[in-house]
Structure 1
């Protein structure tokens, strides 16, 4: 069954992977086929090939359908009737109710970015364009509007068309909605902490929890309790099965009743991937117990995963699905092998430790891929919180039906208890590649020692294994560059990271209204690189696409020094407003001018423009951009902001450079022939996204071709990384 599931997973993801990974997937498939060929029966091989063909066809067809609909929406001016079905912190989720356009069906989703306040259930009309999401292409960037997973085909706003409210709050009179609304009203009578946490625990409704607590739940390893999952389904099953057992002493009836109540609970909270997985596995468990068959957790996981992937291959792209099944696979396969913990006499502590540790080990690849780290006190937090969850959930359910004072007081006490421990244990270990290798070596050394102690491997094999690990990490450390520069894909804007010997520098923040680019793009990339502190943050000039994400970055990352042009044209309303938002959060603000420099060991950054007295004749905000020359060894990199006509004022200062950040996103008003002929860059980086300005212009691209410069456009290449060593450098695109 495991081999068949691996085959199904590969078939589902093939339409989405980069072509460079196809040989790897083909090799894995070949191994699977080889294993199946060596079995006595050929039935598993036939089944595997059947699933491979069916799931690949379904996955390819579903991807093509989504792509065709997305492309169609971009080419039409539409009239739509829409219902607001979810209210998020910075956007609304809309469901299409009615349209005359071909191919669009009721139920398809869009997002609305608006400064106006709407309520869930509001009906609006829209006439205009549907804009496509810009998929930022950076390592560590997780963008939640994956059109294949969420069927969100684009977004609208007041700037893309005309929006009118038709009805304010349409009433949905279904029984489920009525009961949920009544339950939420009663839970809202709790104190602030209880009213925010209880709806999340009972219904998965996190809208009332502060972002601060959401982060503490994630960092403490308790985020799973705020999303209705197998834990909640299991608790509901356990509560009712236990009650029926006490009353009737009938085991079969208790299993059936427990499952039925868990199913009812699932209907109320909604069938998300984790809920569907849990209730399906619970059904298999209930059938096995009532019919007297042996139950296998691992087989149950495999069967349910295969069913869901066959029905909807795109579910594999859902992060919730990945984490849900990853956790259960950890419990099924890793937990039984943690025999070292069998020495703990207290069975409760032993089981919690086994489950928590196995889940963390299983989810380590996903935590590293999405968040570049792991909650280091997860075991402690789960040991302290897990025992109170069954009575807590039971009390919430009772209070939603019978709002008695004793229930309210107990819920509020337990809510405070959970929130306090989530705060105390909220320490997230951010892991770079080198740290990950180091942790892996320590972990594998411990495992190797345990295997050696139990005479599974010999001393010679253990020493050889440790030597291989040491050589591996030594090789990685040896090839580490001296200077790292990352030109991020932030859409239409600039954001550049520089790292050298523990010093972290950021040039511009990016910024697009309505996208939370700092929170969703820049901060994840910084954390992906293991950066938790910025020693220097340069703002080249006061345009929003260069400084707009300042607040979001400062809220998450410590910034020691903010550096801005020492020029009166910097102090626009945009800059003043954004700077006010971070007042008191940055240690030091420094005005820099022509001639100033920053040195870190052998790295030097010199400001070439502007002087404090410089007065541009035109485009003052662009032409006072900081122009800076970075030099390390023989490698020179020139950063130009959005400088335009001011190029001629500094051209006499410019040396030949290896890498040039093209000014103003490739606008024809910058990067003149004279400028490029003087700098002669081997590589040119153009930071640009979807825009209506024609960036990058054909003239600039022709000029770059004229000097045989390799240009990299972040809209297509994604993040561009430059690794500089004592001799030479390497330029690499994130998307090849």
Structure 2
């Protein structure tokens, strides 16, 4: 009887939710899980079809059909070749930042660089220019701009020779936004940009700290600001007007303020929900369940632009709502306080992948994130009022300074476990298994639900274990910009030749160490400095303070050098005046090949080495 009741509840209340979940997971599968990985969701699909036919019921079929369609379409689009050559193009601007904008005609999307652009979302333009594949200089393990663009459906860059505006949005907020931000110091400006405008400047100290602590994704959700503002207005109006009148007034306010949040998925979600409220008021129909309304909003956003489903705001906003609904039956038998506590724990569990920052799992990040939320809401609300009226410079500056100090304090006490970065397939499998476990639990099929729980743990734990380390041999050239950082790995023996160095950020913390954790390496047996140039060894002190290093070699006198089964021979035995002339030139016989690491040795040194070692 309980199974029948659950099945009826699921089919009546969550039909649209199952369709949306199927479409989103299918699109993510086809877009992010490339080549051989695409076989995994296909295999899962076949297995689930069998289960659905036997025991799963109509809801699972409702999920699987959209999943298959979305997977096929996104996978096909992902395999389309990129364009190249000159082209005339007309489209609408769908995203704009400080020095670039994205233009789309509904089929193709292009990245266009324009310094200090004042263009707005919604502008229609005509462009002439040369199209080429995306190609940006990026550091290993840091934020990948190329990957970000590909997630929103952009595969090519257009270098514009001419741009003609065909239509400009009447309400021009970008100039006002820039003028508003110019009232503040750089620290406050970055905080306002993050919490009000959802723009992440990783060079800003507050943004960088929020990312390190693990609360950046939550704090930058514009839906929180927009939704919180409308809830505040709803509360005020409810004292003066009836419920139906309040809904209409709040909807008008939502429409009036949405230009401030154009391009923000969370804000669009809130606006659509308010639109549904007004529809039910005007039509005098009984309001549909919240989950149905939320699912319809998600479907609208998906069909307008399927790449919205890869947006963090979209996934958090809809994913959390669905998750809370499906797991509600799990805690039904507990008392109110216990139920709230268990729901909080379940919520933290759902957000686990978000708290894996640069290969480290922040143990206290889940707690701190929700402690920061009330402050973030208040600061955002003050920023919004300030933007719409008079800049509260002193007040916002003090609040920003307080948040910065709080983040510094949290960063010091926030314990972490090195796990390595979770691969895309493991995160996908984690959420896929959560959804299926809750679904089968609600149907009373506890054995399948328990198997799903095992898959969840496996999906995050297995990629974090250094299982293959004893059998791995590799030479990796880490992308550290101008300098060098080369990892030589022979089973459990790890040698790092140089570690790079830049002045603008801590390269050891943001590049070297995250890369090593991704490779499941937690110690370096020997760090070799080829020479003293900053771009080769400038990150050494920071690296050694944050990572286990057994030995450091900086002198020619220590060669030939043996580390485990690795034997390094230095061929630059000559004296020199400059650092480059003194650079180590190391030879290593490894994996059936001979590697020659020349550091920054100049041509004169190379000629001497070749002359004295003709067989090299």
- Given the alignment, which residue of 197, 209, 223 partners 1:203? 197
CA contact (8 A) 1:508 1:539 kept: yes
In structure 2, the residue matched to 1:121 is 118
Higher relative contact order (CA 8 A, sep 6+): 2
Q: Structure 2: where are the runs of 5+ without partners?
A: 1-14, 120-124, 427-444, 600-605
TM-score (norm 1): 0.57
In structure 2, the residue matched to 1:177 is 172
Cα distance, 1:145 vs structure 2: 1.6
In structure 2, the residue matched to 1:607 is 568
Residue 418 (structure 2) pairs with residue 431 (structure 1): yes
Q: Give the whole-Å Cα distance in 1 for the aligned partners of 2:317 and 2:556.
A: 50
Q: Give the whole-Å Cα distance in 1 for the aligned partners of 2:186 and 2:478.
A: 40
Cα distance, 1:240 vs structure 2: 0.6
In structure 1, the residue matched to 2:150 is 148
- Given the alignment, which residue of 397, 400, 405 partners 1:415? 400
Residue 515 (structure 2) pairs with residue 525 (structure 1): yes
Cα distance, 1:204 vs structure 2: 2.0
Residue 376 (structure 2) pairs with residue 362 (structure 1): no
Q: Give the whole-Å Cα distance in 2 for the aligned partners of 1:424 and 1:340.
A: 39
Cα distance, 1:221 vs structure 2: 3.5
In structure 2, the residue matched to 1:59 is 74
SS at match of 2:117: coil
In structure 1, the residue matched to 2:432 is none
Q: Structure 1: where are the runs of 5+ without partners?
A: 98-102, 113-117, 438-455, 564-586, 653-673, 676-736
Residue 586 (structure 2) pairs with residue 627 (structure 1): yes
CA 1:339–1:553 in structure 2 vs 1: closer, same or farther (change >3 Å)?
farther
CA 1:238–1:166 in structure 2 vs 1: closer, same or farther (change >3 Å)?
closer
CA 1:136–1:108 in structure 2 vs 1: closer, same or farther (change >3 Å)?
closer
SS at match of 2:351: helix
In structure 2, the residue matched to 1:251 is 243
CA 1:411–1:213 in structure 2 vs 1: closer, same or farther (change >3 Å)?
closer
Cα distance, 1:79 vs structure 2: 12
Q: Give the whole-Å Cα distance in 1 for the aligned partners of 2:331 and 2:56.
A: 33
CA 1:129–1:269 in structure 2 vs 1: closer, same or farther (change >3 Å)?
closer
TM-score (norm 2): 0.67
- Given the alignment, which residue of 224, 232, 240 partners 1:231? 224
CA 1:523–1:84 in structure 2 vs 1: closer, same or farther (change >3 Å)?
farther
Q: Give the whole-Å Cα distance in 1 for the aligned partners of 2:288 and 2:320.
A: 22
Q: Give the whole-Å Cα distance in 1 for the aligned partners of 2:307 and 2:184.
A: 40
- Number of aligned pairs? 548
Q: Give the whole-Å Cα distance in 2 for the aligned partners of 1:385 and 1:231.
A: 12
In structure 2, the residue matched to 1:507 is 497
1:220-299 maps to which residues of 2 (within 5 A)? 220-224=213-217, 226-248=219-241, 250-281=242-273, 283-284=275-276, 291-293=285-287, 295-297=289-291, 299=292
CA 1:477–1:128 in structure 2 vs 1: closer, same or farther (change >3 Å)?
closer
Residue 387 (structure 2) pairs with residue 400 (structure 1): yes
Q: Give the whole-Å Cα distance in 2 for the aligned partners of 1:393 and 1:551.
A: 38
CA 1:193–1:610 in structure 2 vs 1: closer, same or farther (change >3 Å)?
same
Cα distance, 1:153 vs structure 2: 4.3
Q: Give the whole-Å Cα distance in 1 for the aligned partners of 2:215 and 2:64.
A: 37
CA 1:560–1:516 in structure 2 vs 1: closer, same or farther (change >3 Å)?
closer
Cα distance, 1:277 vs structure 2: 3.7
Cα distance, 1:242 vs structure 2: 0.7
1:307-706 maps to which residues of 2 (within 5 A)? 307-334=300-327, 337=330, 344=337, 357-365=345-353, 367-368=355-356, 371-403=358-390, 408-426=393-411, 427=414, 429-432=416-419, 480-481=469-470, 485-488=474-477, 490=479, 495-498=485-488, 505-508=495-498, 522=512, 524-529=514-519, 536-540=526-530, 548=535, 558=545, 590-593=554-557, 595-597=559-561, 599=563, 603=564, 605-613=566-574, 626-629=585-588, 639-642=595-598
Q: Give the whole-Å Cα distance in 1 for the aligned partners of 2:289 and 2:273.
A: 10
Q: Give the whole-Å Cα distance in 2 for the aligned partners of 1:43 and 1:84.
A: 35
1:69-88 maps to which residues of 2 (within 5 A)? 69=83, 72-73=84-85
Q: Spell out, residue by residue over 1:226-256, the C-alpha distance to the aligned partner (whole angstroms, 9 max, x if none).
A: 42433223211211101101222x2233334
Q: Give the whole-Å Cα distance in 2 for the aligned partners of 1:505 and 1:153.
A: 36
Q: Give the whole-Å Cα distance in 2 for the aligned partners of 1:628 and 1:228.
A: 51
Q: Give the whole-Å Cα distance in 2 for the aligned partners of 1:610 and 1:561.
A: 29
Q: Give the whole-Å Cα distance in 2 for the aligned partners of 1:304 and 1:270.
A: 16
CA contact (8 A) 2:524 2:549 kept: no
In structure 2, the residue matched to 1:580 is none
Q: Spell out, residue by residue over 1:390-436, the C-alpha distance to the aligned partner (whole angstroms, 9 max, x if none).
A: 443332232223327xx555434433333222222233635326999
SS at match of 2:597: coil
